[in-house]
Amino acid sequence: MTYITGVGLTSYGKHEGLTSLDLMSKAAELAISDAGLKRGEIDGILCGYSTVSPHIMLATVFAEHFGIRPSYAHAVQVGGATGLAMTMLAHHLVDAGVVKHVLVVGGENRLTGQSRDASIVALAQVGHPDYEVPLGPTIPAYYGLVASRYMHEYGVTEEDLAEFAVLMRTHALTHPGAQFHEPITVADVMASKPVASPLKLLDCCPVSDGGAAFVISREPTNAARVKIRGCAQAHTHQHVTAAPALSELGAEIAIAKAKEISGVAISDVRYAAVYDSFTITLAMLLEDLGLAKRGEAAARVRAGYFSRDGAMPLNTHGGLLSYGHCGVGGAMAHLVETHLQMTDRAGNRQVRDASVALLHGDGGVLSSHVSMFLERA
Amino acid sequence: MDKPADWTTGHEAIRYQLCGACHQPQYFRRGFCAACGSTELTEKRASGKGTVYATSVVMRAATPETRAHVPYNIVLVDTQEGFRMMAHGATDLKIGDVVTARYATFTGRLVPFFEKAI
């Protein structure tokens, strides 16, 4: 049995002058204090990576910088799925008795630490160096390819995708830490600059600075009782050229295993936190996970199903699309928000019931997946 | 492994490997078959014919060299030989179009460029 005992999150957007280590430290401090622990009680550290300041031993560098001497520490790299993959590993390490309190931390000054072009170039390297990268694809193009096929097979339209951008923006409006605070409409998304068809600027998450952290413990350390019920991964390919058919992607495999391990059914879930690097990512994952039927996720957005007061509130902080995306920390904000919702600390964003939550992360081009169920004990 | 004489090395050809054991074609070159592990691979030259699986026209490129080519269409093509590949294509290509490859220059390199088969 393991618990998420503390969470920490900075605002996302510009943090001029702060390094990746600074942002990781801020988030870590918040999470440890939220758990009611002292730094010295943390005996395990899992951290992600920083594209701005790459290092072969980032967890050790962070431990020294932060001033702790853990008995277990290393970095984890699974692209956008890193946050949940670290949480899954922390769960197993704690459950196996290897460590008592694992600090999971991610943070990066991806916006102010490098140019947006440099960021796009760095990320495009997830492509195959010989067979893809020489063709000049961008991350939006990889997802644009998937979007074109998904729209073709399931009759999804660009207006449908726009609904997800509007929903995430609507949610971000109520979170002071979000990168974007201007309301947008479907028409605004449709009129935004083309990036890689069918995706336009507002279909894409921004590049941000920010940090997020949590503590995974064997026993509760405070009043919060958020238990990890079960989690699972799936990795079907790395490069989009080698991706399987849409009906055989990893999200469906990971969620099936997570359901089996945890004994939780989709009908038990009250809150959803789903990776949303692009509008198409969110639309596809919701349908792969069984939170909407094929081609029907957008209709559920329009009907208010995924709104704060709907039957399945989704990414109430605004997601990657509008809270922001600072790399590894990006999707960790989804878990922080889920924790706040599950412990009735989400303020004006509080949903009625977040007793059971489903989280899902995706790395690469729908390449690596982690599904996880949390339950309020 | 020797570099193949195909578009990735500046030659006007698309090449793939065919497994002698399980008969699976593979596009990303390796010393073994990723489907069954066999090393009985035969080098083959593809016909350049196929069907469009997916498309995305890049309007915002990330480097000065690629920006000079905007807009350019990134396509995934299911080849007649049974493997999928990424390439460039005419900007009016639609999913399901039957296409054939010619070659174009992109950022000073040779790349396969698919057009509707006539």
Q: How far is A106 from chain B (nearest CA, A)?
A: 25
Report whether B26 contacts B17 (CB < 8 A).
yes
Q: Is the pLDDT of residue B60 over 80?
A: yes
Helix, strand or coil for residue A30?
Answer: helix
Judging contacts by C-beta atoms under 8 Å, the chain B residues touching residue A144 are 56-58, 74
Query: Does B55 reside within a domain?
Result: yes
| A104 in B contact zone (CB under 8 Å) | no
Query: Does A29 reside within a domain?
Result: yes
Tally of domains in chain A: 1
Q: How far is B54 from chain A (nearest CA, A)?
A: 5
Q: How many CB pairs under 8 A join A and B?
A: 105
Query: Does A69 reside within a domain?
Result: yes
Contacts 24+ apart (CB under 8 A), A128-133: A128/A238, A128/A239, A128/A241, A128/B28, A128/B86, A130/B8, A130/B28, A130/B29, A131/A239, A131/A241, A131/B8, A131/B27, A131/B28, A131/B85, A131/B86, A132/A239, A132/A240, A132/A241, A132/B86
What lies within 8 Å, CB to CB, of A323 at 6+ separation is: A12, A168, A172, A175, A177, A178, A179, A315, A317, A333
Q: How far is A146 from chain B (nearest CA, A)?
A: 7
Question: Mean pLDDT over all residues of chain B?
Answer: 96
Q: How far is B40 from chain A (nearest CA, A)?
A: 21
**B56 shares a domain with B38:** no
| B88 in A contact zone (CB under 8 Å) | yes
Helix, strand or coil for residue A141?
Answer: helix
Report whether B40 contacts B20 (CB < 8 A).
yes
In this prediction the pTM is: 0.97
**B58 shares a domain with B19:** no
How does pLDDT run across A198-222, given as a tens digit for each residue? 999 999 999 999 999 999 999 999 9
**B90 shares a domain with B41:** no
**B82 shares a domain with B27:** no
Positions of E strands within chain B: 15-19, 25-26, 41-45, 49-58, 72-79, 84-89, 98-106, 109-116
How does pLDDT run across A17-59, given as a tens digit for each residue? 999 999 999 999 999 999 999 999 999 999 999 999 889 999 9
Q: Is the pLDDT of residue B3 over 90?
A: no
How does pLDDT run across B75-97, given as a tens digit for each residue? 999 999 999 999 999 999 999 99
Q: Which residue has the tokens 């329009």?
A: A302
pLDDT at residue B118, rounded to an integer: 79
Q: What is the mean pLDDT of residues B8-34?
A: 97
Judging contacts by C-beta atoms under 8 Å, the chain B residues touching residue A142 are 56
How does pLDDT run across A330-369, given as a tens digit for each residue? 999 999 999 999 999 999 999 999 999 999 999 999 999 9
Tell me the DSSP string of B17-39: EEETTT--EESS--SS-TTT---
How does pLDDT run across A74-118, given as a tens digit for each residue? 999 999 999 999 999 999 999 999 999 999 999 999 999 988 777
Judging contacts by C-beta atoms under 8 Å, the chain A residues touching residue B62 are 117, 120-121, 124, 138
Q: Which domain holds residue B100?
A: 49-116
| B109 in A contact zone (CB under 8 Å) | yes
**B75 shares a domain with B25:** no
pLDDT at residue A227, rounded to an integer: 98
DSSP at A78: B
Instruction: Give the type of residue at A253.
Output: I
Task: Using CA coordinates, name the residue in chain A closest to B61.
Answer: A138
Q: Which domain holds residue A108?
A: 3-113+208-217
Q: How far is A139 from chain B (nearest CA, A)?
A: 10
**B53 shares a domain with B20:** no
How does pLDDT run across A107-136, given as a tens digit for each residue? 999 999 988 777 777 777 789 999 999 999
Structure tokens at A359: 């989280």
Tally of domains in chain B: 2
Query: Does B1 reside within a domain?
Result: no
Angle between helices A279-289 and A250-262 (to 10 degrees): 40
Q: What is the mean pLDDT of residues A287-315?
A: 98
pLDDT at residue A117, rounded to an integer: 76
Judging contacts by C-beta atoms under 8 Å, the chain B residues touching residue A194 are 57, 59-60
Task: Using CA coordinates, name the residue in chain A closest to B69.
Answer: A136
Q: Is the pLDDT of residue A188 over 80?
A: yes
pLDDT at residue A28, rounded to an integer: 98
Report whether B75 contacts B69 (CB < 8 A).
no
Buried b (16+ CB within 10 A) or exposed e, B38-61: eeebeeeebebebebbbbbbbbbb
Judging contacts by C-beta atoms under 8 Å, the chain A residues touching residue B111 are 134-135
What lies within 8 Å, CB to CB, of B71 at 6+ separation is: B57, B58, B59, B91
pLDDT at residue A143, rounded to an integer: 97
Report whether A264 contacts A356 (CB < 8 A).
yes
Q: How far is A243 from chain B (nearest CA, A)?
A: 9
Best mutation target among A197, A201, A278 (most B Cβ atoms within 10 Å) is A197
Helix, strand or coil for residue A103?
Answer: strand
Q: Is the pLDDT of residue B1 over 80?
A: no
**B53 shares a domain with B93:** yes
How does pLDDT run across B68-77, given as a tens digit for each residue? 999 999 999 9
Structure tokens at A373: 């169920």
Report whether A326 contacts A209 (CB < 8 A).
yes
Query: Does B2 reside within a domain?
Result: no
The CATH number of the domain holding residue A69 is 3.40.47.10
**B13 shares a domain with B35:** yes
CB-closest option in A135, A193, A199 to B88: A135
pLDDT at residue B34, rounded to an integer: 97
Interface list for B 25-84 with A (CB within 8 A): 27-29, 53-63, 66, 69, 72, 74-76, 84
What is the strand order of the sheet A209-217 is part of?
A72-75, A44-47, A101-109, A209-217, A3-9, A226-235, A368-376, A356-363, A271-274
Report whether A77 contacts A48 (CB < 8 A).
yes
